[in-house]
Structure formats: structure tokens, C-alpha cells
Structure 1
Amino acid sequence: MTDSRTAQADVATCVFSVLKTIVEGDPGVASCTYEQTPTDAQGLPCITMQTLDGTPVERRYLDGGRVENYRFALLLRRQALEDQDRLDARALLERLASSLAEADVELGEGRTAWDLSLDTLPYRAESAADYADWKAELTLKYQTNR
């Protein structure tokens, strides 16, 4: 039997790999990280993927298969001094989250991605003197086969 915590880590790795590919193709983002967001101006703007809390198993089948959820957030940290900077940041995060939701995420043998959906619109999560953070939450629904 597979430990669901181990399976979640593997799913996070798969999603992060697709996210990095999307970010590398976008000139509006300087870097992409997992869980640690830079505070120095040279690393900004930065997209950070963060795993969210939640119950991973949604449904169990008699044959041992399951429908599971991987909940995560995308955080965009960027300098935002003017109104237009803040509007641009929100639009950039929405565009990147939508690109990820439309991407084909390969989860490896025994798992099939069903749906990757944007659960929240991008919103400002935090502000500091030198930067501001925008966040969007997503859920990847997938099936595991026994």
C-alpha cells in the first residue's frame, strides 16, 4: 500500500516541474521556487508554489483505487509601488495559474490527472515596504490505480 504522504510529495514534484517550465517561458517572472520566497529585489518577481493543508483522499474504490486531491497555492512576490504595478501583478498571476490549469500534468505510472482547477481568483495576501504578495489557490484532482 502506498503512503499518501509519499504520493503527495511525488505529485507536488510533478506539478512543480510543469510550473517551472511555464515560468521559464514567461519574461515577466525572474524565478520559480518551492515553499521559500526570496525577499531580495534581484529574485523578484518570483512565483512560489506552496502545498496547502487538506484531506487528500476524496473517494476510495473496492479495487484499491482512489480519487485524491492535491491542494496548492501559487504566490507571486513582486515590487508594487503604483496601482498599475498591482493590477499587472494580479493579471500576471491569473495568467500563470490559468496556464498551469490548462497544462498536461503527467503524474507517473498508476496515477491519472483529471482536473486542475483555480479555486480562488488572485488576491493580495501580504504587503511589505519593498514588495507585495499575490496568491491563488488551486486543486489537482487525480485517480490512483491499485
Structure 2
Amino acid sequence: MESVRFDTKIAVLLRDDLQTWQRLNVTAFLISGLGSAVPEVIGEPYEDADATIYLPMFRQPVLVFEGSKETLHGAHGKALARGVPTAVFTSDLFNTGNDGDNRAAVRAVRTDDLDLVGIAVYGPRNVVDKTLKGARMHP
């Protein structure tokens, strides 16, 4: 099979001080935001040899990065300035138990004061690369 180079990128940036369960939880929540708001990132449903149908998934890889609180804050500002679709997860969301409370927790804090623990972005490869400059690939 031939390797495909996408001209867009899906990326998640996590704060580097999160526990393992938090990293996994934040990543799952963040990418769900992109999948629902940017339909072109979703491929076709899967089907096995027995004709069992499975849900579609992203049509391209999701790259996961990590960085300091400052790196995350800077990337968030760049993402907003560049107008790329962005999902956010703040530390407050670890203390809520439902979607309504999650949205209320984010709504209660000004943009520059959000205590971000993760963001997900989607856009042209070069724009996402510049947005995440200073972040490193997640180990």
C-alpha cells in the first residue's frame, strides 16, 4: 500500500503534567469535538468480511503532542488567531460530571484565563505546525 501525505493535520496538544488516565480522557473528549464539528475529517463506515458494519473514524492520523502550560496557552492563542477549528479541555472539567456543567465551566472563564490541559486543532498542515511550534510529540 502506498503512503498518503495529507495536506491537513489533526493534532491534540496535552499539558505535560497530566496523569495517564487524564491524558487518555482529555484526548478522547477533544477529538470528539473535531469529529462532530468538521465532518470532512470523518471517513466511511468500516465493514468486516461478514458484512458487520462499524462506525466511521477519522480519515487521517491524529497526532498527539505535549507541552508545558505556557506552550499550551501560546498554541491556544495562535489557534484562535489563525481561525483553525479548536476544541478545549480545561482543568475545571475534571470536576464536572455532565456536558451541561462542562460547558458552564468553560463559559465562566475568560479566554486568556482558561486553565487549559488540552486542545485539539485541525487545519492545513503548515498552519497546525506553526500553531504547535514548541510542543513535542507525546512519548
TM normalised by structure 2 equals: 0.33
More helix by share: 2
Higher relative contact order (CA 8 A, sep 6+): 2
